Structure 1
Amino acid sequence: MVLLQCGDCGVLLKSPEEAQYHGKNTCHTNYLETDEPMCYLVCNDCNKICSCRTESHFHEKRSGHTGGFQDKTAEVVEQKRRAREEYNCQKGRQYLQMILQARRRQLLRMPSKAGQMKECLETIKQNHKDDEAKVKAACSVLRRFVENVRRYPDEEKFRKIRISNAAFQEKVGSLLGGIEFLELCGFEKTEGGEFLYMPREKVYMEVLNSAEWELRNIE
């Protein structure tokens, strides 16, 4: 990395803007490019901080100090590394919190999901009130779909349902309210309508928990 160095005091400057600012404050006008490494040297006599060996030599000549310098470069680098790491962690926490808040807001915008789920289950129950076994079978299948996604959200096979599957059609697909219930859980019909699919980023545990609660409590 090529830096600018003041020829009057030896200080290292990272940019022309820093050199301009330094010149305004010191009236120094002599600058040159250098590849001398930056460091953190502290004068033992007055605690002045010098940015490189050249600056420390200038300081010794002008001040007459002979106590030498402490090289705290490694210590400062470590402090900056920790500060940067903490900053990144903080940003990561803020980003995660932002995502969670966005999810909560999205859930709040969904008008009474639990109520709509309950209506779907009531529709199934009312349309087949003379066939209790059919209602129980439908609820059992729906509950299995919900529980599988809750337990294994990263497994795509549990987030994908073939609509034309004969067993699915018999127990859920052909029942008014069945597919609607799954859509409220987060499943979406794919283009062409061949599958019901729940994208990983749309797996909301709050919604699935609510769905399971409604399935457990359907009378």
Structure 2
Amino acid sequence: MAGVSLKCGDCGTLLKSVEEAQEHAELTSHSNFAESTEAVLNLVCTTCSKPCRSKTESDLHTKRTGHTEFVDKTLETVKPISLEAPKVAMEIDDNASGSGEAAEEMVVPDVDNNILEELEAMGFPKARATRALHYSGNASLEAAVNWVVEHENDPDVDEMPKVPANSNVGPAKPALTPEEVKLKAQELRERARKKKEEEEKRMEREREKERIRIGKELLEAKRMEEVNERKRLMFLRKAEKEEEKRAREKIRQKLEEDKAERRRKLGLPPEDPATAAAKPSVPVAEEKKISLPIRPATKTEQMRECLRSLKQTHKEDDAKVKRAFQTLLTYMGNVAKNPDEEKFRKIRLTNQTFQERVGSLRGGIEFMELCGFEKIEGGEFLFLPRDKIDSAIINSAGTELNSAINNPFFGVL
């Protein structure tokens, strides 16, 4: 099959003629061209008759105008390509035909002169108006104006188009009066202006909706952060007050014991009768308060005393104590969040990290046993059975650990 196009070996572009190849070379500096049997695509828009030479060009046309229907006229316009330079006359061998044949003549295409005059009356240059009429298929004044709007940034928009002389066919279109031309031009400008304003308004509405949405999300996030911060501060204040109350009670008990011891050493009676009559129930209350940390009535009190004992036993190393509390809090948090995961409920006692952080400290393992952990397999593991998980105890353990970590008065007495 004879070649019907020239293909650029550098970028793959298909070109209809040697002239186009020369223009392509000047624009891109590509010089590797070869004859190809692949025809240049010719997709013609059924709405405005604009020819498109590639799928990309048709997609851009659809995006700009909304026209989606195209007719493939590639086979109708395909013809063998001439590989001779356009300005050099081609002479045929006298022995072959006996006559000379010049290169195909290129002329300005015939367009509707009436519409051309109307476009010129609207202020468009003749070359631009002729190009617009030619590439819009001489369909109408509106189609030509739309073509100019779409291609006003093309580098060759003001160059006079050229077509082969034998394909130049001039259509006839009815003329418009000067008044109709002016009205039509004004109508087209008004329509373009309204379309642009509507698009700007639509984009502004979209931007405003996005700003409102983002603003609401930021306000909600800030509100939730403030609520959580208030809850955290209230919890810390409550824990500090409770710890201070327990510390004051211990001081009072210690003062009472010292007072009683001094009276005993001085040989004085234990209490004044009048004082004993006024406070008959004080010894009972004191006995209850003294026995609270070791009485097995509630797990919470036992866990608090266990943590206090751990801190007092290792008070020379605050960093180690705080790390132990944080590790225990992590264990309790993992159990609370993932009660069905056995890996969070089973701990090897010989694990080096566990020993360094919790196991080697007096009271660490006892605290975990208070939370429900049991020694299994000969004391090699600490294990919390799934059916023995008590959410209230786990939550209480977390509360006591938080208090031990954040309360500066925890365990000082």
Q: TM-score, normalised by structure 2?
A: 0.26
- Point out which structure has higher relative CO (alpha carbons under 8 A, 6+ apart): 1
> Larger % of strand: which?
1
Larger radius of gyration, structure 1 or 2?
A: 2
Output the TM-score relative to the length of structure 1. 0.49
